[in-house]
Amino acid sequence: MAIVATTDRAPFATADPDAVARFLTAGGEPAYRADQARTWFWRQLAPSFEAMRTLSPAARAQLAGGYTFSTVAEHRKREADRGATVKYLFRLQDGRTIETVVMHYPATERGRARTTVCVSSQVGCPIGCTFCATGQSGFDRNLTEAEIVDQFLAASRGLKAQQRALTNVVFMGMGEPLNNYAAVVAAIRRWARPDTLKFSPRRVTISTIGLVPFIERLAAENLPVNLAISLHAPDDALRSSMIPVNRKYPIAAVVAAARAHAERTGRRNSYEYVMLAGVNDSSEQAGRLASVIGRHLTHVNLIPMNPVEGSPLHRPSRDRTLAFQRILQAAGISTTIRDTRGLDIDAACGQLRARELAPTPAG
Ligand code: SAH
Ligand code: SF4
């Protein structure tokens, strides 16, 4: 029996509405069935074509024969932080796997409650950062637009029973989103369409290692997304040793492109900084970081490193992280320390998948 089913059926999420209507009328169904199916799919978050109750059984069967309902299938689902973090391992149609994480944040005096989905953009990642499980696992392929769109939908269906909905999307799962530019931008535009989810790009954050030409292209895209720059080091020698692509796009070029994006969109940039004990966490490095990024339209997220199996790198003490934060704040840079989610389910970038892949299955 074939375990891996590839299919030539088009994904429903990215199907052209007119083509769906033509497909249904060719099979003898009225054209309005296509609109009904789209409402079930995007608004009601139906779990399958079969569940689209107002469609005739024949129309449901026809859709199932012509379209793939979802390009991602739940393979594993694990919860942590007493249900506040849910991590999915999704199987793609070619048998490869990706991960998607849903995180709930309670309301605080600074803002409303949020439910954020962290989506993947690639299977693996070609950038190869030393501290990242995904980077160490190599690169397989880009995700398609449908595979990105469907992660959002699958997570939303899972939330529906709890009467929750996604409020934010971050491209911080597996892969380098700007290395799969066209599919990522198409997915963001797809979610935003009035006939799909009307999900505003302002609620979407693209996290990038700093691929300068694509940051520039994004700034010209007229798409008000947020940009998070994974900087991680205040000088080029150190950054190149952690992130090989820094040799091509050094810090000054990345920061200049990020600034131009912020000025063009009016949206504040955030810089991500993974705290690595004894590597990038000294007070002197905090001072240098402050002068490299400046305080105009910037925000820094300090991320204590999540452990990566087989890596000698690890996070500094809480005191060291707080001292680093104080230096940035004294320089007028707003800085938060990211709370670490899902440590007990390996929810850091690429880690659940790394574990799943560890005992290499035969064939
Ligand atoms: N490729 C993009 C987006 C995916 S990684 C990027 O690098 O920005 C999302 C974030 O997770 C990045 O900021 C990345 O540096 C961080 N990250 C990777 N490995 C980590 C680890 N072991 N612990 C904590 N954060 C990690
Ligand atoms: Fe790729 Fe981002 Fe991991 Fe670097 S940190 S290897 S760019 S996913």
The 10s digit of each residue's pLDDT in 173-221 is: 999 999 999 999 999 999 999 999 999 999 999 999 999 999 999 999 9
DSSP annotation of 108: B
Cα–Cα distance for residue pair 117/59, rounded to 1 Å: 32
Q: Residue 363: which pLDDT band, with cuts at 50, 70 and 90? A: very low
Cα–Cα distance for residue pair 253/60, rounded to 1 Å: 52
Tell me what pLDDT residue 115 has: 95
Tell me what pLDDT residue 2 has: 42
Residue 59 in tokens: 């129309």
Cα–Cα distance for residue pair 182/203, rounded to 1 Å: 19
Residue range 122-129: mean pLDDT, rounded: 95
Residue range 154-166: mean pLDDT, rounded: 94
Domains located in the chain, CATH noted: 17-68 (1.10.150.530), 72-345 (3.20.20.70)
What's the chain's Rg over C-alpha atoms? 21
Q: Residue 360: which pLDDT band, with cuts at 50, 70 and 90? A: very low
Q: Residue 351: which pLDDT band, with cuts at 50, 70 and 90? A: low
Q: Residue 142: which pLDDT band, with cuts at 50, 70 and 90? A: very high
Q: Is 135 in the pocket of ligand 2 (CB under 6 A)?
A: yes
Residue 4 has pLDDT above 60, yes or no: no
Residue range 312-334: mean pLDDT, rounded: 97
Whole-number Å distance, alpha carbon 208 to ligand 2 midpoint, is 8
Q: Residue 109: which pLDDT band, with cuts at 50, 70 and 90? A: confident
Active site residue 125: no
Q: Residue 350: which pLDDT band, with cuts at 50, 70 and 90? A: low
Residue range 289-294: mean pLDDT, rounded: 95
Q: Is 227 in the pocket of ligand 1 (CB under 6 A)?
A: no
Percent of the chain scoring above 70 in pLDDT: 91
Whole-number Å distance, alpha carbon 264 to ligand 1 midpoint, is 25
Residue 337 has pLDDT above 50, yes or no: yes
- Taking alpha carbons only, the member of 304, 305, 216 closest to residue 263 is 216
Percent of the chain scoring above 90 in pLDDT: 80
Residue range 141-156: mean pLDDT, rounded: 98
Residue 287 has pLDDT above 60, yes or no: yes
Q: Is 46 in the pocket of ligand 2 (CB under 6 A)?
A: no
Tell me what pLDDT residue 83 has: 83
CA 265 to chain centre: 21
Tell me what pLDDT residue 84 has: 87
Residue 321 in tokens: 């992280």
State pLDDT tens for residues 12-52.
999 999 999 999 999 999 999 999 999 999 999 999 999 99
Q: What 3-state DSSP class applies to 268?
A: coil
Residue 345 has pLDDT above 60, yes or no: no
Residue 228 in tokens: 């998070």
Tell me what pLDDT residue 347 has: 54
Tell me what pLDDT residue 353 has: 60
Active site residue 99: yes
Q: What is the mean pLDDT of the chain?
A: 91
State pLDDT tens for residues 235-265.
999 999 999 999 999 999 999 999 999 999 8
114-118 and 334-337 strand pairing: unpaired
Whole-number Å distance, alpha carbon 134 to ligand 2 midpoint, is 6
Tell me what pLDDT residue 88 has: 94
Residue range 160-174: mean pLDDT, rounded: 94
Which of ligand 1's atoms lies nearest the C-alpha of 304? 24
Q: Residue 1: which pLDDT band, with cuts at 50, 70 and 90? A: very low
Residue 290 has pLDDT above 70, yes or no: yes
Which of ligand 1's atoms lies nearest the C-alpha of 305? 23
Q: Is 127 in the pocket of ligand 2 (CB under 6 A)?
A: yes
